């Protein structure tokens, strides 16, 4: 039986989640990305419906009121959320799903989905993280400082995840996440996972 797997990746800004997710999707054709909704402004290298669904505060408020989000949180002054409907559609279609969710949202989701797989992506060091953020050239000094402060707070939550991957070398990190993915797909408890998730999504 081909039961769907949900894998949640969290990392501080600059941790490399997006690059890792794209690499995993290239290796596994049946793996789809559940794209978050956000009120943030896109960076120049981001596109709507590929990286995020960019929506207004008014639209986000409407979705919150309608209980459309499985989880949502405010991060760096902007809001992010995972659509119940979008995730359920992917699971119903038989896809495995990877989600890019911040620590607040992931811990919300973990209270609902104990059977999902939670992976925290650690930077090699805070200094390397700062270098990566500065290399983007997309942040004011104030925003960069705020992201680093939040990063240190988020890193302290890594022990609440099932797995930790230190993103020092991209190929090594992708191989480690691939190993986690394959092992979890072969887990005996995966047999009952899909039906459990579909029931909980109706909440």
pLDDT tens profile 87-130: 999 988 989 999 999 999 999 999 888 779 999 999 888 888 88
pLDDT band at 148 (very low <50, low <70, confident <90, very high): confident
Q: Residue 137: enclosing H or E segment and its boundaries?
A: none
Question: Tokens representing 109?
Answer: 């989701």
Higher pLDDT, 51 or 71: 71
pLDDT score, position 131: 83
DSSP string spanning 60-123? Answer: HHHHHHTT-EEEEEEETTEEEEEEHHHHHHHHHTT-EEEEE--HHHHHHHHHH-TTSEEEEEE-
Does the residue 1 lie in any domain? no
Residue of 77, 143, 64 whose CA lies nearest to 108: 64
Range of the domain at 139: 6-201
pLDDT at 9: 96
CATH number at residue 28: 3.40.50.300
Does residue 151 lie in a domain region?
yes
Instruction: Tell me how many domains the chain contains.
Output: 1
**Residue 23 near residue 88 (C-beta atoms within 8 A):** no
User: Is position 48 within any domain?
Assistant: yes
Q: Which residues contact 54 (CB under 8 A, 6 or more apart)?
A: 38, 39, 40, 41, 42, 48
């Amino acid at each position: 039986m081909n039961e769907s797997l949900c894998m949640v990746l969290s990392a501080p800004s600059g941790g490399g989640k997006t690059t890792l997710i794209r690499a995993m999707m290239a290796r596994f054709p049946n793996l789809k990305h559940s794209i978050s909704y956000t009120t943030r402004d896109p960076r120049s290298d981001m596109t709507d419906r590929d990286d995020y669904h960019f929506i207004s505060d008014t639209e986000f408020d409407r979705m919150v009121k309608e209980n459309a989000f499985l989880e949502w949180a405010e991060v760096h002054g902007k809001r992010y959320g995972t659509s119940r409907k979008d995730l359920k559609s992917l699971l119903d279609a038989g896809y495995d799903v990877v989600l890019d969710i911040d620590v607040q949202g992931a811990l919300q989701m973990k209270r609902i989905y104990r059977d999902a797989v939670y992976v925290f992506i650690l930077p090699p060091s805070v200094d390397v993280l700062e270098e990566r953020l500065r290399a983007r050239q997309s942040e004011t000094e104030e925003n960069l400082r705020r992201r680093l402060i939040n990063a240190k707070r988020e890193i302290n939550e890594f022990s609440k995840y099932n797995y930790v991957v230190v993103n020092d070398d991209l190929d090594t990190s992708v191989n480690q996440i691939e190993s986690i993915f394959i092992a979890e797909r072969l887990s005996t408890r995966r047999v009952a996972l899909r039906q459990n998730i579909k029931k909980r999504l109706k909440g």
